[in-house]
Structure 1
Amino acid sequence: MRILFGLIITVGALLAAAPTRAQTFDPSYPVCMHVYSGANGGGGEWYDCSFTSLPQCRATASGRPATCDLNPYYPVREPTPRRRYRRGG
């Protein structure tokens, strides 16, 4: 009886799980090119996150149905705060 109950719960959990999409953006580069329908021979739209600057991406996107955007998953590094020294008085 316990095995049957466990099996029913397991099958129910597997059937209830929604499919997920893979991460679209590569966090290694700060700029992504969003290419719209018909590109890459298969249609649909896709992202190419292999650019280090917006001008580099825009040069590649020139003449194509594409736009360049900042990568929302690129880790922004905050500059380290400057040390403040007190003057001895």
Structure 2
Amino acid sequence: MKLYLAAVVLMLVLAAHTEAQEEPTLEQHFAKFHTQVKEIAGDMTEKTKNAFEQFEQSEFAVKTKNWFTEQFDKMKQKLGETFNSN
């Protein structure tokens, strides 16, 4: 009989404990949402930064930058020759 009574008391304690657990408040929901958004934004920032760094170091970007530099230097030289000859 004592074992049966102990089991019933244990089940009542578990039921009371389950009901006693509070649901998160609206403030807690917003705090959690804020944290999640902050983590996502941080991850996106890192990924974007890494992508730009990889693109900047890519062969295409380097060749394009060099080509524009060469074209600008040629144009500068021609303008210098044109205006200095007068």
- Structure with greater proportional helix content: 2
Q: Between the two structures, name the one with larger relative contact order (CA 8 Å, sep ≥ 6).
A: 1
Q: Does the TM-score normalized on the shorter chain lie above 0.5?
A: no
- Structure with greater proportional strand content: 1
TM-score, normalization by structure 1: 0.27
Which of 1 and 2 has greater Rg? Answer: 2
TM-score, normalization by structure 2: 0.28
